[in-house]
Amino acid sequence: MSFRLSVLDQSPISEGSTGADALKRSIDLATVTERAGYHRYWVAEHHGTPMLACASPEILIGAIAAATDRIRVGSGGVMLPHYSPLKVAESFSMLSALHHDRIDLAVGRAPGSDPLTAYALQRDRRQVAPDDFPQQLSELLAYLWNRLPAGHRFARLATLPGGAERPDVWLLGSSPQSGAWAAELGLPYAFADFINPAGQEIAVRYRTTFAPTGLATRPQVIAATWALCAETDAEAERLAASSRMAFSLFFQGTLIPVPPIETALKYFATNPESSEAFSRRRRAIVGSPSTVRAALEAVANEYQADELMIVTITFDHGARCRSYELIAQAFGISD
């Protein structure tokens, strides 16, 4: 296998459970996937939703890193427009000091929320925050890579609490602009195929225009894609109904926890057009181990990916753990 397998966890909240339950299940899933042989485990940032629990990746990263031994742990990603670059640099410097050479910082431009929630996250609400992501990202990298000029007004702040320890920095995106920024800054690039399944040309352009001006000497691509595996194709399709219903309603502006399978099956029986709309907007790899392996290999080839990062949401936590175990076994990465 020419690519690694990793995990992107959105900390789903199942109907009838709590955000606290979801966060504890994320820690459990990290230990399961570490044993199964996955390379890294990233947690996503979302706000103001009853479906996804992780609003602060750095807190969950610390808990997961403490509960595991080998797997890399990081953000997928920190939504930088909400934060001071210095605060992000200090937080991930501390995580790196505590968990030597295991911490990743993937940053993104998207709000991870609706406009009202994004506004509520602002410290200064006298006006909408400026769209200055490139400047924020450059400042963050300057702190982490100790590249602030001697005369810069923030130069002394580049002495971070973690000392020489630093996270590996990735840029997360789903658009041509994010790929262009990653190439220009010499950053490894994680493309959200589970949001935009048309990223092949973006990945090609990133590779061909990559400038080794950062700490990475070559372009690196992660393709983050949605997959669910079960013992049979039919069982996988059945399990997938829960997340499909949740996201179908999300596209319509309705936010709900992940529903039970029977609830979702009844919903699609009376709203078949919702399933069709979901399939048109998102790529979902669903099936038995052989089915999923073939489809994941096709995605990796499409992106020429160095790594596939798998996103999975189910109503039942055990089914989600089992899905990752079956995929690991299908690729032969299990210990």
- DSSP letters, 208-271, are HH--TTSS-SS--EEEEEEEEE-SSHHHHHHHHHHHHHHHHHHHTT---PBPPHHHHHHHHHH-
- Enter the tokens of residue 335: 């210990």
Q: What is the pLDDT, as a whole number, of residue 148?
A: 81
- Judge whether 14 lies within some domain: yes
Residue 90: give its domain's CATH number.
3.20.20.30
Q: Is the residue at 241 inside a domain?
A: no
Host domain of residue 74:
4-227+303-331
How many domains does the chain fold into? 1
Q: Has residue 174 been placed in a domain?
A: yes
**Within-domain flag for 90:** yes
- The ranges of the chain with pLDDT < 50 are none
Residue 238 lies in a domain: no
Report if residue 239 sits inside a domain. Answer: no
- Give the CB-side neighbour count of residue 247, counting CA atoms within 13 A: 24
**Cα 309 vs. chain centroid, distance in angstroms?**
8
What is the pTM (predicted TM-score) of this model? 0.94
Any domain includes 244: no
Task: Tell me how far apart the alpha carbons of residues 322 and 325 are, in angstroms, rounded to a whole number.
Answer: 5
CB 182 within 8 A of CB 171: yes
